[in-house]
Amino acid sequence: MSKVLLVGIDGGATKISGWTTEVIKDKTFNLGDINVVKEYREYDDFMPSFKPVNIQLQLGEMNEGEIELTIEEQKHGKAYMYAAADVIIELAKKVGADRVLVGIGMPGLKSSDKRGIVVLANGPRMPKYCDVIEKRVEAAGIKMDKPIHHLGSDADYCGIGEEYSHDGLFRDVKNSYYLGGGTGVADAMKLQGKLLPFDQAKTWIAKTWEMKNSEGRSMEGYASSGGIQKLYAEFADIPLAELQEKEIYPPQILDLFDEDAAAKRSFNDVSYNIAKLLYERLVTIYGGWHHCFEFVNSNRADLSEKHPYRGTLLDSIIIGQRLGDLLGESKGKHVFYEPMLEFLGKFIVETPYLDLKFKNHYLKGEQFNEALIKTSRLREAPAIGAGVDAYLTYHKE
């Protein structure tokens, strides 16, 4: 019997990362030891000067069901799709597998069959994404054990990774919220013992990137690696390109905290705003939406105060990906971690509309109960989530 390799793929704006994924037992999974990364710029079809089609035009064509790709999108998109296929091919060859089962997470709005990308803010539309990948993989002599069923989202796959990975932090809790910060930001929830994708709860809770603070800044800017770097660039009056050239990213900015006023201001802002975001999550889940933030899109429908999970107290708050690494590194340094906890405790102590049950659960005295804050070790949560999703899709009980 031929060997079937389970592959989880995390696709981003600049590269594709794929991992072998192993089924342990009782629907528990681990990442394998083999990882392959392909950057889109490695391909001849990659266009460094590519400019995405106007987003409103993209949305209009999606709504009309008629996607007209530009010549540039067709060419540039090949680099994206070929990179994904080549990651799968290389993984299969490295382990000697002749059949693959693949799960893929990619940004962008998906086609009606969920196998293509029809709106992408910072890249080419690829409505035949899965078709092209499957054909290239099979042309290399590797069989698709099953078709790629659908493309998933980074955020949902973070949640699935935390639920099904051997080291996942959703595993042993009933109610939890996950905030992951990397290139972008990922929100995930587990409520009443089940994963609840934000898309299924959009009438009563907003994604982080949808919200902005009183200064008009998107909350994604405080949770994502690029957002924190941009904040520092602004406060330090240093061009972003110069920071990137010198490889000054959030961990390096964190190290500058004691000697650099702009670094201090940046992380004070990050601590305050992450605390405010977590406070909003606790409040909204327990008592409904209380307008802690405005929406980036002013036309977004307001959120309902009523939902089926009101009264729920969380067992944990999980901070993951690069944001989780950063939070963990800051612990004990009185930058980011400790100030964030102080702000979060202060918000809860001073809240005028939550009861003692809420306050007693989240506070120890007048301090936030830091035992509820967990940092995830699953840096590759989206990749393992993609592999798990592919497996569970075709191995339903």
CA dihedral 263, 222, 219, 357 (to 10 degrees): -110
Q: Positive or negative, the Cα torsion across 371, 375, 378, 380?
A: positive
Residue with tokens 């603070």: 213
Q: Supply the pLDDT for residue 1.
A: 40
- Does pTM top 0.85 for this prediction? yes
Report the alpha-carbon distance of residue 8 to residue 149 in Å, rounded.
13
Q: Positive or negative, the Cα torsion across 358, 364, 367, 368?
A: negative
Q: Supply the pLDDT for residue 3.
A: 77
Low-confidence ranges of the chain (pLDDT < 50): 1
Q: Supply the pLDDT for residue 369.
A: 97
pLDDT tens-digit map of 125-142: 999 999 999 999 999 999
Q: Supply the pLDDT for residue 396.
A: 73
CA dihedral 246, 51, 181, 337 (to 10 degrees): 50
Domains and CATH numbers, the chain: 4-155+382-394 (3.30.420.40), 172-376 (3.30.420.40)
Q: Supply the pLDDT for residue 397.
A: 53
Q: Supply the pLDDT for residue 289.
A: 96
Closest CA to 189 of 156, 219, 152, 153: 156
